Amino acid sequence: MLPRGLRAMRALRLGGLGRCPLGRAFADAAKATATATATAATAAPGGSPGVNPKTSGLPMTTPGAPGAVRPRVVIVGTGWASFRVLADIDTKKNDVTVISPRNHLLFTPMLASSALGTVNQRSICQPVRPLTAKKNATYYESSVVGVDKEKQLVTCKTLGGQEYNLPYDKLVVGIGFQPNDFNIPGVKENALFMKETADATRFKDHVLEKLEEAAYCHALDNDLTLSDEEKWKIQELLTFIVVGGGPTGVELAGELTDFLYNEVANLYKNLKPYIRVHMFTYDLLNTFDEKLQDYAITHLRKKQNVQVHLGAFVQKVEPNVVHVKLGESAMSIRYGTLVWCAGIKPHPFVSDFGFAMNDKGSQILVDPFLKVKGEKNIYAIGDCATIEDYWLPQTAQVANQQGQYLAKALGMDESKTKPFEFHNKGTMAYLGGLTAIMANLPGVSRITGFVAFLGWRFTYWFLQLSMRNRFMLVTDWLRTFIFGRDLTRFGPRSKPT
């Protein structure tokens, strides 16, 4: 029997296509395929023709050569680093498959804005399938539950519980992180978090629910004088606590106070005197210099009415009560809403993969080329990984640059690849009240105030990965400016009657 390529070529000629230029092109392509197949078959030393047992059936051909089969690159995750690899990788040289239970990239720097209705969540989420279709890649909405490094297989599980194996030649792990509760009692059970779109939705629903409860309590005695007990109950419902003074916590506090002292003050006029916002943190924005830290603290305290408690350590979180240590003293505050933005940690199953880990066992240890220590074809990027002897902050900017680097490196000869270097292009944070801070920009050490706010918005608009998201973001900002934030609550009580 003729090889498949020769049979295809003969079929083209019998159909008369060989007489036209297009037909000759098809015929030449079929002939090249047949020649490459025959060459691989005669070169293979035993077993299946042209099969390398170390790559689970990958034909032994050089990438880029006529008839070559592209190396199979499996990307785990759709976070900043993984998504950037997918966006930049040359899929003509690599057969790319993406595995993630989340079918989109979340623009995490603007998650706080979506949590209070300043922007729509869809405006900061980039679906993965349009990109995989454009790049001729494959996406499976699944979780990775195991890695067999000897057989070069990843075991995946669909949302429906079905398991399957995927072979790989190069594996890229970029699975991000999860909130770190530091094993403090009650945090996991009683705090809200700010990591995914579901967290933002839950936070917004919770805040609006507390506002409605407080409005109801106040309305019961609308014509009477409220008792001290009733006042304390309303103030408890309207006490909001943010734990953590990093960019997420600070920006959430800024967005929250904008919302409370604008929309809430206008729509719940009797509740404004009861609103309290606290922030508990050891330090504030420690990646910025001291002058910008002082500027941020002053603005939050004086302009946003946030009670910032520095040097604070949360000891325990109970339903409606948080216990905090402040230096040598301690305090307990009753609250209606507590959101935890105090740190991140890797997903627990990372250690199950058998990769080299750092001294704390918290991140995958990689070399300067982002390759997992001790592995030949496995890479780790983003927040789940740390470079040996090269500490970097766990930020979207670092993850994005690592993704750009690795996408380029995967298409190059390893001997020509240079070690990864992070280039800080500046940091920024929104403080509320149309005020932000920016630092370490090219040619500028620091910017504050409204100018920094405009720079903050433009930068995040520019960093969106599609014109679709840029358009939606601008329309959201315009809508909020004209009509205010969206107060629609899609919680468990929002059910059909």
CATH code of the domain in which 198 resides: 3.50.50.100
Considering 309, 343, 377, which residue would you say is the last residue of a domain? 343
Residues 163 and 205 in one domain: no
Residues 339 and 350 in one domain: no
Can you read off the two tokens belonging to residue 186?
């009650």
The number of helices, as runs of H, and strands, as runs of E, in the chain is 14, 27
Per-residue model confidence as pLDDT tens digits over 393-404: 888 999 999 999
So what's the pLDDT on residue 343?
82
Per-residue model confidence as pLDDT tens digits over 55-84: 333 333 344 444 558 899 999 999 999 999
The CATH number given to whatever domain includes residue 385 is 3.50.50.60
Total domains in the fold of the chain: 3
Residues 355 and 395 in one domain: yes
Contact present, 102 and 126 (Cβ < 8 Å): no
- Examine residue 270 and state whether it is found in any structural domain, yes or no: yes
Residues 315 and 392 in one domain: no
Q: In 3-state terms, what secondary structure has residue 392? A: coil
> How far is C-alpha 412 from the chain's CA centre?
27
Q: Phi first, then psi: give them for residue 244, nearest 5 degrees.
A: 120, 130
- Examine residue 131 and state whether it is found in any structural domain, yes or no: no
So what's the pLDDT on residue 221?
60
Residues 198 and 337 in one domain: yes
CA distances 352 to 122, 162, 349, Å, are 33, 20, 5
At a CB cut-off of 8 Å and minimum separation 6, what does 322 contact?
Answer: 241, 280, 314, 316, 332, 333, 335, 338
So what's the pLDDT on residue 44?
37
Q: What is the mean pLDDT of the chain?
A: 85
pLDDT tens per residue, the chain (497 residues)? 444 444 443 443 334 444 343 344 334 444 444 344 433 333 333 333 333 333 333 333 344 444 558 899 999 999 999 999 999 999 999 999 999 999 999 999 999 999 999 999 999 999 999 999 999 999 999 999 999 999 999 999 999 999 999 999 999 999 988 888 999 999 999 999 999 999 999 999 999 999 999 998 877 665 567 888 888 999 999 999 999 999 999 999 999 999 999 999 999 989 999 999 999 999 999 999 999 999 999 999 999 999 999 999 999 999 999 999 998 899 999 999 999 999 888 787 777 788 999 888 788 999 999 999 999 999 999 999 999 999 898 889 999 999 999 999 998 888 889 999 999 999 999 999 999 999 988 888 899 999 999 999 999 999 998 899 999 999 999 999 999 998 888 766 544 44
Q: List the beta bridge partners of residue 126.
A: 105
So what's the pLDDT on residue 193?
96
β-strands 276-280, 239-243: how paired? parallel
CA distances 206 to 54, 82, 385, 422, 493, Å, are 53, 32, 33, 39, 11
Considering 282, 311, 343, which residue would you say is the last residue of a domain? 343
Q: State the residue range of the domain holding 405.
A: 72-101+141-177+346-416
So what's the pLDDT on residue 39?
39
Contact present, 32 and 129 (Cβ < 8 Å): no
- Examine residue 457 and state whether it is found in any structural domain, yes or no: no
Considering 287, 313, 343, which residue would you say is the last residue of a domain? 343
So what's the pLDDT on residue 196?
92
So what's the pLDDT on residue 224?
60
- Examine residue 372 and state whether it is found in any structural domain, yes or no: yes
Residues 149 and 216 in one domain: no
Longest CA pairwise span in the chain (Å): 97
At a CB cut-off of 8 Å and minimum separation 6, what does 32 contact?
Answer: 5, 66, 67
Task: Find, among 352, 377, 356, the residue nearest to 365 by Cα.
Answer: 356
Q: List the beta bridge partners of residue 96.
A: 73
- CA atoms lying within 13 Å on the CB side of residue 57: 5
Residues 76 and 49 in one domain: no
Residues 279 and 398 in one domain: no
So what's the pLDDT on residue 183?
92
Rounded CA gap, 156 and 144, in Å? Answer: 4
Residues 370 and 336 in one domain: no
Amino acid letter, 100: S
β-strands 138-140, 95-99: how paired? parallel
Amino acid letter, 332: S
So what's the pLDDT on residue 332?
96
Instruction: Name the one residue in this structure whose structure tokens are 């990965």.
Output: 465
Per-residue model confidence as pLDDT tens digits over 417-443: 999 999 999 999 999 999 999 998 888
Rounded CA gap, 434 and 208, in Å? Answer: 23
- Examine residue 161 and state whether it is found in any structural domain, yes or no: yes
Contact present, 158 and 114 (Cβ < 8 Å): no
Task: Find, among 405, 447, 410, the residue nearest to 422 by Cα.
Answer: 405
So what's the pLDDT on residue 4?
45
So what's the pLDDT on residue 52?
36
